Amino acid sequence: MKKTSLILITLLCALACSDPGVDPQKATSDVKVIDGRLVFSSEEALIAAFEKLQSGDVVETANWERGHTFNSLKTALENDIDNGDLTRSYGEYPLSHQIILNSDGIVQAGEEVILYYGEAKYYLPVAKFNAIKATRDMIPLAERKGVYKIVRIENGYAENARQISADLAGNVGTGGDQFQFTLGDGSERKYITEPVSTYETFGGQLGCSPYYDTRLTLYLRLKLEGRVNSRRSWSACPDVRTVSWNVSTPSMSCYAYPPCSPFAASIPVTTYYSSGSTSNATSNIWVPLASSRQWLEYETSTYSGYWAGSISGTTYQSQNNVSVPHTVYF
């Protein structure tokens, strides 16, 4: 098995549903702002928006934000400078979800309001939502639930999960590349390049076992973390930095459990070539590598799956007020 940049990410496949096609071009025509939240005409329109915004295209993302004025989760996180409860709950979310959810983690699709919280999604009809006093009150009232989970590579089985680290440049930690440096005031920073997988369930069905319309996405996440000194914990750092990436996945597979099957199988995957840059990044950059949307089994105690394949290309990070650039080669 080729060692260079080999990914074998193990994730819990709490997942499900069919393979309905999505036209990303329809994403913004089916959305409006009501009572401080985005309202999509349907869940398909919401999924299309997620697909459109996962590209990492900085200009396209900025244009989309300007076209929908409301207090987004992204804006709220940027203002949470002390890394408070909001950052602890939502700081790891990809940009697509930060732009679409409001500051309470809410979005509406059709006649259902959806709250993202923890690793769950809570659905409540809009009429009932309008009758509650606080957003979190909808959790015990939810009429259906879904799953939204972010899986870091280090959550995989130990040997396989570390294979991507073996041949990357820099001071490598588990689950990707980490490059650490110290500023003139003694505080510390580190650039992180890590593979991350997300999965999200939508509608479900009962048959031989529960299965759900599931969307899986594999990313490279580019981060800057900081701490005052070595006695303090690392946390997200908002220092402005220049980030660029040029990566592709010449070979990538995903294995999961189809409905009513006792065996994991390879499922269809869309792979991406991603290239972009920004000179004013203050948060995580999510670079999409591959995705799949299928009906899949959901059983938290039994079923698991994994991504397997290779990455080709480079990523670059450099904090703007210091001269410490770092390039990762795949």
115 within 8 A of 135, measured Cβ to Cβ: yes
Strand partners, 241: 281, 319
Strand partners, 182: 188
- Residue 298: predicted pLDDT: 67
Report the amino acid identity of residue 39: V
Would you say residue 220 has pLDDT above 70?
A: yes
Domain span including residue 25: 6-329
Over residues 77-113, the pLDDT tens digits come to: 888 766 678 888 888 888 899 999 999 999 999 999 9
Most confident of 16-30, 99-113, 290-304: 99-113
Q: Tell whether 170 is covered by a domain.
A: yes
Would you say residue 7 has pLDDT above 60?
A: no
Task: Extract the tokens encoding 17.
Answer: 């549903």
Name the residue with higher pLDDT: 97 or 174: 97
Confidence of residue 130 (pLDDT cuts 50, 70, 90): very high
Q: Tell whether 314 is covered by a domain.
A: yes
- Residue 261: predicted pLDDT: 80
- Residue 323: predicted pLDDT: 84
Q: Using alpha carbons, list the distances in angstroms from residue 276 to 69, 220, 286, 287.
A: 25, 13, 11, 9
Query: Can you tell me the mean pLDDT for 64-89?
Result: 82
Strands 270-271 and 304-319: unpaired
Structural domains of the chain, count: 1
218 within 8 A of 150, measured Cβ to Cβ: no
Q: Convert 266-288 to b/e letters by CB count within 10 Å (16 or more is b).
A: ebebebbebebebeebebbbbbb
Q: Tell whether 37 is covered by a domain.
A: yes
Secondary structure of residue 62 in the 3-state scheme:
helix
Confidence of residue 189 (pLDDT cuts 50, 70, 90): very high
Query: Can you tell me the mean pLDDT for 256-267?
Result: 82
Quote the crossing angle between the two packed helices 58-66 and 43-53, to the nearest 10°: 140
Query: Can you tell me the mean pLDDT for 269-298?
Result: 88
Nearest to 61 by CA among 223, 318, 214, 286: 286
> Any idea which of 217-226, 262-271, 303-312 has the lowest mean pLDDT?
303-312
Over residues 281-294, the pLDDT tens digits come to: 888 889 988 898 88
Q: Tell whether 35 is covered by a domain.
A: yes
Confidence of residue 22 (pLDDT cuts 50, 70, 90): very low
328 within 8 A of 277, measured Cβ to Cβ: no
Q: Tell whether 1 is covered by a domain.
A: no
Most confident of 57-61, 194-198, 323-327: 323-327
Would you say residue 176 has pLDDT above 80?
A: no
Between CA 68 and CA 63 the distance in angstroms is: 9
Over residues 147-163, the pLDDT tens digits come to: 898 876 543 333 333 33
Could you count the other beta carbons within 10 Å of the beta carbon of residue 240? 13
Q: Tell whether 41 is covered by a domain.
A: yes
Query: Can you tell me the mean pLDDT for 269-279?
Result: 90
Nearest to 252 by CA among 8, 1, 2, 4: 8
Strand partners, 34: 37
- Residue 178: predicted pLDDT: 83
Strands 235-236 and 144-152: unpaired
> Any idea which of 48-52, 257-261, 293-297, 321-325 has the lowest mean pLDDT?
257-261
Between CA 42 and CA 19 the distance in angstroms is: 16
Would you say residue 209 has pLDDT above 60?
A: yes
Q: Tell whether 258 is covered by a domain.
A: yes
Name the residue with higher pLDDT: 206 or 199: 199
